[in-house]
């Protein structure tokens, strides 16, 4: 058994893949394996992967199945004591694995979370994203983690037993599959730790799924519903989960300003407000809005004003 398995799902990533792989093989920690899973790429990704002769690389080529199934496949193939995830267009600080592993081993942690850099591809501008600092804890002791921790699988080190013994898997065949996964790992972890340093570089590029919206945006409603169902019988989480739900859904209604298809965007806004009305009847008084400015919260709480805002933005900024 090696110390850490790093799972990298790869789909048509030729533009970014060299930087990603180099950040792995140049880690100061050596006792690693790199589980590179080619999810049916049609570009030169396979050639790039095969150009590296590092014996720690475990390469798998599958037909295109989507990122949820690909990450689950990677978990099944991982043999390390710990698991990390890295997207193929992102990269790690050279000492990331060493520091995360040392923290987990010394303090007997199931899950370690670190800060990260948000990198704009076009300008290479870096912004450190800081997770609010916390001492070793559990989700039961610190429910605020649901709101403070980013719900992406990277910038985290997971004990492999945490995932495999609890049969924690990514949602398959839905976009935004990572949120329920991260939430369940936090919930099942017996001890969660934090490293203040930014060790992961998260790259935002112009046409990434983070910046482009299409009809798959409707999946976020199902994802929120899965999160709510997961906590449905645990009333001590109700207030926090309601706040998280409203925050996620409001974020996506406002993001319809960059939706490619206006009709899809407006339909999504209708569906989302109906979902909140049905499941969080008092959503307009949710604590999420307390820290929003008056104009912003007035727009975000109101379906009609949200549509007006998105329409104006499309015309003035997007010109679509």
Helix (H, G, I), strand (E, B) or coil at 9: strand
DSSP letter for each residue of 39-102: ES--SSHHHHHHT---TTEEEEEE----HHHHHHHHHHH--SSEEEE--TT-EE-TTHHHHHHH
Task: Please tell me whether residues 267 and 199 are part of one structural domain.
Answer: no
The tokens of 113 are what? Answer: 């979370």
232: left (phi over 0), alpha (psi -120 to 50) or beta: alpha
Number of domains the chain contains: 2
Q: Is position 19 within any domain? A: yes
Banded pLDDT at 15 (limits 50, 70, 90)? very high
Choosing from 183, 204, 225, the residue where a domain stops is 204
DSSP state of 155: S
Span 86-101, pLDDT tens digits: 999 999 999 999 999 9
Q: Is position 236 within any domain? A: yes
Whole-prediction pTM value? 0.94
Span 165-205, pLDDT tens digits: 999 999 999 999 999 999 999 999 999 999 999 999 999 98
Banded pLDDT at 300 (limits 50, 70, 90)? very high
Q: What domain range includes position 270? A: 215-318
Q: Tell me how far apart the alpha carbons of residues 312 and 306 are, in angstroms, rounded to a whole number.
A: 10
Task: Please tell me whether residues 117 and 237 are part of one structural domain.
Answer: no
Instruction: Classify burial at 165, counting beta carbons within 10 Å of its beta carbon; exposed 0-12, middle 13-18, buried 19 or more.
Output: exposed
The tokens of 14 are what? Answer: 């030729």
Q: What is the CATH number of the domain that holds 182?
A: 3.90.550.10
Banded pLDDT at 318 (limits 50, 70, 90)? low
Span 228-249, pLDDT tens digits: 999 999 999 999 999 999 999 9
Choosing from 204, 231, 266, the residue where a domain stops is 204
Q: How far is CA 94 from CA 9, 120, 259, 272, in A?
A: 20, 20, 37, 42
């Amino acid at each position: 058994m090696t110390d850490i398995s790093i799972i990298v799902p790869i789909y048509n990533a030729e533009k970014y893949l060299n930087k990603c792989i180099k950040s792995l093989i140049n880690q100061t920690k050596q006792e690693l394996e790199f589980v590179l899973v080619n999810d049916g790429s049609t570009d030169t990704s396979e050639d790039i992967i095969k150009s590296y002769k590092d014996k720690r690389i475990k390469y798998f080529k599958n037909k295109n199945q989507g990122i949820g199934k690909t990450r689950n496949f990677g978990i099944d193939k991982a043999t390390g004591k710990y698991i990390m995830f890295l997207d193929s267009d992102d990269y790690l600080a050279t000492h990331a694995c060493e520091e995360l592993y040392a923290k987990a081993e010394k303090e007997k942690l199931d899950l370690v979370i670190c800060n990260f850099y948000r990198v704009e591809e076009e300008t290479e501008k870096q912004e450190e994203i800081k997770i609010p600092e916390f001492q070793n804890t559990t989700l039961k002791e610190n429910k605020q983690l649901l709101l403070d921790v980013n719900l992406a699988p990277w910038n985290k080190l997971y004990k492999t037993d945490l995932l495999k013994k609890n049969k924690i898997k990514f949602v398959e065949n839905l976009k935004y599959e990572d949120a329920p996964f991260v939430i369940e790992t936090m919930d099942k972890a017996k001890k969660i730790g934090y490293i203040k340093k930014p060790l992961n570089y998260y790259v935002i590029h112009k046409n990434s799924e983070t910046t482009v919206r299409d009809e798959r945006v409707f999946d976020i409603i199902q994802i929120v519903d899965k999160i709510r169902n997961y906590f449905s019988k645990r009333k001590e989480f109700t207030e926090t989960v309601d706040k998280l739900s409203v925050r996620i859904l409001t974020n996506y209604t406002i993001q319809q300003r960059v939706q490619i298809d206006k009709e899809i965007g407006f339909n999504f806004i209708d569906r989302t407000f109906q979902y909140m009305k049905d499941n969080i009847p008092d959503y307009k008084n949710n604590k999420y809005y307390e820290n929003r400015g008056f104009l912003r919260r007035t727009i975000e709480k109101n379906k009609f004003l949200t549509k007006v805002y998105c329409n104006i933005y499309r015309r003035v900024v997007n010109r679509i």
